[in-house]
Amino acid sequence: MINKPITAILIGAGFRGRISYGSYGLKYPDRLKFIAVAEPDSRKRDLFQKEHNISNSNVFKSWQDILDPSVGKIADTAFICTQDRMHYQPAIKSLEMGYDLLLEKPISPIFEECNHISNLAQEKNRIVQVCYVLRFTDFFKKLKEIIDSGVIGDIIDYDHSENVSYWHFGHSFVRGQYKKKDESSPLILAKSCHDLDIMYWLIGEKPLTVQSKGFLSFYRPENAPKNAPKRCTDGCTHEKTCPWYAPRLYLSGEPLIRIGFHANSRFLRFLTSMIINHRNLMVFLSKYVKKLEPFLNWKDFPTTSLTTDLTYEGKMKALREGPWGKCIFKTGNDVVDHQIVTYTFPNGIVGTLRITGLSDLEGREFRIFGTKGVIRAHFRANEELIKITDFLTTRTKVVFNKGLSAGGHGGGDFGLLDSFVKVINGELTPEQAGTTNIQGALESHIMAFTGEEARISGKTLTIDEYRN
Ligand SMILES: NC(=O)c1ccc[n+]([C@@H]2O[C@H](COP(=O)([O-])OP(=O)(O)OC[C@H]3O[C@@H](n4cnc5c(N)ncnc54)[C@H](O)[C@@H]3O)[C@@H](O)[C@H]2O)c1
């Protein structure tokens, strides 16, 4: 059966909308076609319009305009990729207009709003795919398959760490959009509703109680080095000793290039080392070897969050004027920089999530203790590995091993879209496609809301009380 591409309107042409999902439409025009866009930032709007060849009549400045009744329903689906506190209203409006939705996570930082979207989707019989991209990676599919196969017996103790590297935490949760709880979401929801969804999915039960501890201990004004100015670009004398010195992070893309130090390939490790340690020589060589240029003038994440003008001047302007050039200790942030949450599940299972904003490597780590054996696994940008140790034989087997991962979230971004497209064009049912529909995604939100409440109150909370 040959299906036509599904059509979509994009609400919010920022990092996720334009880069993560827009790129899928460009790569697979036979599967997904963006036919309209709503975005207040004219540079991003124009870029998206050009990239997807959208007619002028289908370009709008905001979600209110694109969802105006005078425009009507113009595509199969609406992609809602605005910031956390701007999901609810466009989601409700587009469901009312009959769109199926691809909705960025978290659904909303307000529980009642999550419930309302979920109820309306059911009432209108519409699909709402929440962007839990991790479930669509080979790594997590394998982890689920192993647990469901029973090789480690029943899970008793589940230990999950979300290690956010020092630079990524600084970028998103200290300098960036998620630095203030009341303007976005608490850390446990913003960063880890994904992780809680994975915990819930792998354990396969709803949690009963929750406890939590967490603090903003480090990224605080009193920890700034002596005489540090408000901005790195104001002649900070700590350039050489501060890992968060903004021009290093954003002009050279050093954080992502450093991941290459851990690559399996000897050549990549050598290249990384040359770029970091012998920059002038590499700049000279790049005049002759054009393939080196992208490594020396970084035009990828995290720099793409700063500006769409990725020239040297454009990036410097963004650092001088925007939030990402501020001293990491003086940004006005208030979200915690580390938190531990412990849930109990039926049959005495305990699940713990640790989130830290001071990691070297970026990625998730797991120790899953069962009645017959143990899984040790990690999902990092530079390596995805799953090992199983069996109690009886005491043997450890590596059952999954991948090096540097290709694609956003280890292939999860595109995996999620593959599944969404197949569901919308009728090739698969939502169950066959393993979609993370809104009703299923509510559970991880309940876990996050109660986890945050438990942290603030210092109490053990019974989750059913909240659920009901
Ligand atoms: N699924 C994942 O793995 C994942 C990863 C990162 C972020 N996210 C979530 O995705 C969402 C978007 O994140 P992002 O990094 O792309 O943010 P972003 O700030 O880059 O993009 C949001 C865009 O919405 C636009 N916007 C603002 N007001 C608007 C309006 N009235 N109408 C239309 N557009 C409007 C902004 O101008 C901006 O371009 C957030 O909720 C975030 O938490 C999900």
pLDDT digits (tens, 9 = 90+) for 103-121: 999 999 999 999 999 999 9
Q: Atom 39 in ligand 1: which residue has the minimum CA distance?
A: 14
Partners of 32 in the β-ladder = 6
Q: How far is CA 155 from the centre of its chain?
A: 27
In short, whether 83's Cβ falls inside 6 Å of ligand 1 is yes
Ligand 1 atom showing the smallest separation from residue 177 Cα: 19
CA distance 64 to 71: 10
In short, whether 186's Cβ falls inside 6 Å of ligand 1 is no
Q: Atom 25 in ligand 1: which residue has the minimum CA distance?
A: 12
Ligand 1 centroid vs 218 CA: distance in angstroms? 27
In short, whether 131's Cβ falls inside 6 Å of ligand 1 is yes
| Both structure tokens of 292 | 């080196």
In short, whether 41's Cβ falls inside 6 Å of ligand 1 is yes
Strand 100-103 vs strand 128-130: parallel, antiparallel, or unpaired?
parallel
Ligand 1 centroid vs 446 CA: distance in angstroms? 22
Topology at the third CATH level for domain 6-126 = Rossmann fold (3.40.50)
Strand 6-11 vs strand 77-80: parallel, antiparallel, or unpaired?
parallel
Q: Atom 38 in ligand 1: which residue has the minimum CA distance?
A: 14
The answer to whether residues 194 and 105 touch, using CB atoms and an 8 Å cutoff, is yes
In short, whether 11's Cβ falls inside 6 Å of ligand 1 is yes
Ligand 1 atom showing the smallest separation from residue 190 Cα: 43
Ligand 1 atom showing the smallest separation from residue 408 Cα: 3
- Testing ligand 1's pocket by substitution, the residue of 61, 104, 140 carrying the most ligand atoms inside 8 A of its CB is 104
Q: Atom 7 in ligand 1: which residue has the minimum CA distance?
A: 16
Q: pLDDT tens for residues 158-212? A: 999 999 999 999 999 999 999 999 999 999 999 999 999 999 999 999 999 999 9
- Nearest CA-CA partner of 244 in 296, 306, 171: 171
Ligand 1 atom showing the smallest separation from residue 16 Cα: 16
In short, whether 44's Cβ falls inside 6 Å of ligand 1 is yes
In short, whether 82's Cβ falls inside 6 Å of ligand 1 is yes
Cα distances (angstroms) measured from residue 435 to each of 6, 95, 420, 426: 17, 18, 7, 13
Q: Which strands sit side by side in the sheet containing 396-402, from one edge to the other?
A: 396-402, 384-390, 373-380, 363-370, 155-165, 349-359, 338-345, 209-215, 461-462
CA distance 221 to 229: 11
Burial class (CB in 10 A: 0-12, 13-18, 19+), 82: buried
The answer to whether residues 363 and 409 touch, using CB atoms and an 8 Å cutoff, is no
Write down the pLDDT at residue 210. Answer: 98
| Both structure tokens of 269 | 């490790």
CA distance 187 to 197: 15
End-to-end CA distance of the chain: 45
In short, whether 133's Cβ falls inside 6 Å of ligand 1 is yes
- Nearest CA-CA partner of 146 in 195, 138, 351, 347: 138
Write down the pLDDT at residue 404. Answer: 63
Return the sign of the alpha-carbon dihedral for residues 367, 373, 379, 382. positive
In short, whether 81's Cβ falls inside 6 Å of ligand 1 is yes
Ligand 1 atom showing the smallest separation from residue 44 Cα: 39
User: For the chain, which ranges sit under pLDDT 70?
Assistant: 1-2, 259-264, 404-407
CATH number of the 135-219+333-467 domain: 3.30.360.10
CA distance 363 to 7: 34
Coil/strand/helix, residue 371? coil
CA distance 10 to 38: 6
Tell me how many degrees the CA angle 445-446-449 measures, rounded to the nearest 5. 85
The ranges assigned to domains in the chain are 6-126, 135-219+333-467, 254-297
Ligand 1 atom showing the smallest separation from residue 412 Cα: 3
